[in-house]
Chain A
């Protein structure tokens, strides 16, 4: 198994979010936007399970990939203390990424909080000629990766809950305005459930297809344990399916938000 890699760089993006650059030609080459990796935090059983993290961006020439990680609890805390040269145990890339269809000429990505991370490589890789990004943060101090996003799209909108930066309000309000201006061919959403749910409902009214990236607590990360499920439609019925294997990216009309 090829799962031990070297950390090339670690840098803080704001008070509680950092970027890890990791050396792996295989993952850099193989990873598709929206896919995740399963990361071991420390060596012992103190933090027992791996942590699912989205691939934020890849450098296929250098053979490295970036993870943007927010410190939430003990696992992400351990990762934040890792230094260049340290070895890290990572399984991946895992799951299904976003759909990049050449016929989609105009796309919009919508991200909230840590949900913005998988959208960066999506913007870089998507063949569309008009790409917009709408990113939401709680306040000004949490705004990160602004330049990276700006360079990877044709129009960046930032919203903050308190209006301390960009527009005050929800990303879905901006989405509505943009959709009303001109219908996109496809929208990609990643962030809090309420945001994705509101986005999916809005886009349904305009008949715009969309994809969402789901989050759930995980065990194995590869589809075997059935712990990481979300509800999806199945014919006239529904079923629980693995976020790690069938997702994390799902079609917006497939997921049942309840």
Chain B
């Protein structure tokens, strides 16, 4: 690593040694990828979406390949927040990387419970998932209207003892309106985008490929949409933004920073290349060295228009 450059960023009080975070749902609780690379390299890890009680998730198939991307319909399968606290945090705390707990619920009370419980746990931040397209209740149904977002966020903010990141769905008419509602309700940061609702059909069998019929689109295919949304939201709010959607390498990460993100998350790219996160950090360093950028913070919102 080049010692003259600094990759450090601070997102709403969460100190990250570099701006690259593993995206929720794509990295489990870190155990699997720890066999491929040193988790100490990561700026942070957003863990699999947690709920109050364990969830079984949706019936398979849960993944379909699309041009330069995938659809998933996992549906928040997770062991529940207590199991996370007891079994997964001790493992993750063995690494010098920020832990971000991704939280979902069916009701506002669930979200309050999650935020209160996680605020007492040894983690660095809470990412409120108001954007999962794969469950019937909660989540995206709160996240798709400004009023819904304002209501949930203002209620849970009262219980929050940790930085609160609100994760936004792209499945809305105007994402800036949603981001403004999150900010007004007290969100410390926003993260975007969650997956775009889509579907895949097998013409041969005349059936949907996914067991849940519809699923969420991610991967390189969504990058232009994600970049546009990060750019729009950065002009609409003053709180930090964590950008994601199709990031696969250092150049992609730079683009999100320029569009206004203070940090980035990556998920799908790691399915194809388990080293994608590490290579993105290295690519970012190389870009900074080549372009004589001393601190990564100089790139944030640096788009020339």
Contacts and interface: CB of A to CB of B under 8 A. Distances in A.
Interface of A: 1, 40, 45-50, 91, 216-230, 238-240, 245
A216 B272 contact: no
B120 to A, nearest CB: 27
Contacts, number: 98
Interface string B57-94: 10011111111111010100100000000000000000
Given A218-B63, A226-B74, 16 more contacts: A40-B272, A45-B67, A48-B219, A216-B60, A217-B60, A221-B271, A222-B35, A222-B274, A224-B33, A224-B270, A225-B25, A225-B28, A225-B63, A226-B28, A226-B62, A227-B72
Contacts of A217: 60-64, 209
Contacts of A49: 63, 65, 70, 271-272
Contacts of A1: 36-37, 274-275
Contacts of A47: 65
A227 B63 contact: yes
B60 A219 contact: no
B220 interface: yes
B70 A224 contact: no
A229 B70 contact: no
A220 B31 CA distance: 13
B272 A222 contact: no
A23 to B, nearest CB: 21
Contact of B271 (A216, A220, A230, A239): A220
A221 B272 CA distance: 9
Given A49-B70, A222-B33, A240 B28 contact: no
B209 to A, nearest CB: 8
B63 A224 contact: no
Contact of A222 (B32, B77, B268): B32
Contact of B270 (A40, A45, A220, A239): A220
B32 A220 contact: yes
A40 B65 CA distance: 13
21 contacts: A48-B65, A48-B66, A48-B67, A216-B61, A217-B61, A219-B72, A219-B268, A220-B26, A220-B274, A221-B271, A223-B32, A224-B33, A225-B72, A226-B48, A226-B62, A227-B61, A228-B60, A228-B63, A229-B62, A239-B56, A240-B77
